Amino acid sequence: MIHPHIADALKAPALVALTEGAVLVRFESMKVYSALAAVARLLEEGRVRPGQTLVDSSSGIYAHALALACHRHGMRCHIVASTTVDATTRAQLEILGATVEQVAPSRDLRLDQELRVRRVREILAERPDVHWMRQYHDDVHYLGYREVADLVADALPAGRGRLTVVGGVGSGASTGGLVEHLRQRDPAVRLVGVQPFGSVTFGSQDHHDPEAIIAGIGSSIDFANVRHHLYDTVHWMDFTHAMAGTVALMREHAVFAGLSTGAAYLAAVHEARRHPDDLHLVVGADTGHRYVDRVHARHAEALDPACLKPFEVGAPEEMAMPWSTMAWDRKGRPGARAGRAA
């Protein structure tokens, strides 16, 4: 196939067998699916017009995806970037035509997120013609993952066991959109969400991981796009365990992936031991380039995954670092949290 734009090529995932009971759906940049479909739908519905400026905050993957979607559809792009956005990503954004402003450096991920949302609101007040994409709250971002679900369902072997999807929760649109559509074919599909400690999404906000850099799969504010009732199980994991999974994925399967993929892989290995008849689909959101210095270059420090196991807890308040897991059983959102950004 000759693609009309590089974004259409980048979004396509590869399905890679890891073990007899696990398959990786590996993306170069998963959120390209989401951003392309979202911008196309907004244009189709007249919610934005050709050439208009689209703005959002991002810790990296969505920023690149939105810049590509804007380039593809002839839109302007403005990104309020997290301190975690690296120089390589920023350079690509700028060359693609996006304007980028990065919030003041902070090791406090909650403050980083709040500063970004605050700055977006300031931009909207200054420039009413700008459209806020609201990747965390506008469910238009679910649309692109329908296509992924169809690709996965058609590619997986017939006669397999029950399908369990394992991936970072993040804004909720990726794992949520994928599983909502998969369950239209098979309601038994399970969803296992992975969170960093410190995220409010599933109640770990009282736990602090000093090395946490997996902000993309957690949040310091409530995300409306997270549909808690979709999740069967939740894993909370610290940096050292996510790093162990990331290095193991490279060492055992030659897959160079990001930290959220490594965390999902470690969770999937545990889930496969508990449910050996299931087929586990590990969501690999992006490559490992952003994590070379902080993760891959430190591979000698990585813990042995064979020696790791989570605390099994019955409620969020029982969790303990460095790794906890809980049966969520498709319950709704935890109690209301302060700091939600609409």
Q: Is the pLDDT of residue 113 over 80?
A: no
Pair (108, 218) in one structural domain: no
Pair (156, 242) in one structural domain: yes
Nearest to 248 by CA among 302, 201, 198: 302
Pair (58, 16) in one structural domain: no
Pair (93, 168) in one structural domain: no
- Is 167 within the bounds of a domain? yes
Q: Is the pLDDT of residue 84 over 90?
A: no
Pair (108, 238) in one structural domain: no
pLDDT digits (tens, 9 = 90+) for 151-203: 999 999 877 789 999 999 998 999 999 999 999 999 999 999 999 998 999 99
- Could you give the number of structural domains in the chain? 2
When the pLDDT of each residue in the chain is averaged and rounded to a whole number, the result is: 91
pLDDT value at residue 313: 97
Q: Which of 139, 166, 190 is the last residue of a domain?
A: 139
**Tokens of residue 62, six digits:** 């969505």
Q: Work out the pLDDT band at 133, boundaries 50, 70, 90.
A: very high
- In DSSP notation, 184-249 reads HH-TT-EEEEEEETT-TTTT-TT---TT---GGG--SS--TT--GGG-SEEEEE-HHHHHHHHHHH
pLDDT value at residue 106: 62
pLDDT value at residue 159: 75
Upper half-sphere CA count for residue 336 (Cβ side, 13 Å): 4
- Is 313 within the bounds of a domain? yes
pLDDT value at residue 336: 45
pLDDT digits (tens, 9 = 90+) for 3-34: 999 999 999 899 999 998 999 999 999 999 99
Nearest to 31 by CA among 135, 181, 155: 135
CATH of the domain at 18: 3.40.50.1100
pLDDT value at residue 108: 62
Q: Is the pLDDT of residue 339 over 50?
A: no
pLDDT value at residue 250: 97
pLDDT digits (tens, 9 = 90+) for 34-73: 999 999 999 999 999 999 999 998 877 899 999 999 999 9
Pair (26, 40) in one structural domain: no
Q: Work out the pLDDT band at 278, boundaries 50, 70, 90.
A: very high
Average pLDDT over residues 238-249: 97
DSSP 42: H
Q: Is the pLDDT of residue 104 over 80?
A: no
In contact, 79 and 93? CB cutoff 8 Å: yes
Q: Work out the pLDDT band at 338, boundaries 50, 70, 90.
A: very low
Pair (105, 58) in one structural domain: yes
Range of the domain at 113: 32-139
pTM of the model: 0.92
For the chain, what percent of residues have pLDDT higher than 90? 75
Q: How far is the C-alpha of 43 from the C-alpha of 243, rounded, in Å?
A: 40
Which residues have C-beta within 8 Å of that of residue 44, sequence separation ≥ 6?
none
In contact, 158 and 185? CB cutoff 8 Å: no
pLDDT value at residue 221: 81
Pair (69, 122) in one structural domain: yes
Pair (112, 151) in one structural domain: no
Q: Work out the pLDDT band at 337, boundaries 50, 70, 90.
A: very low
Pair (14, 85) in one structural domain: no
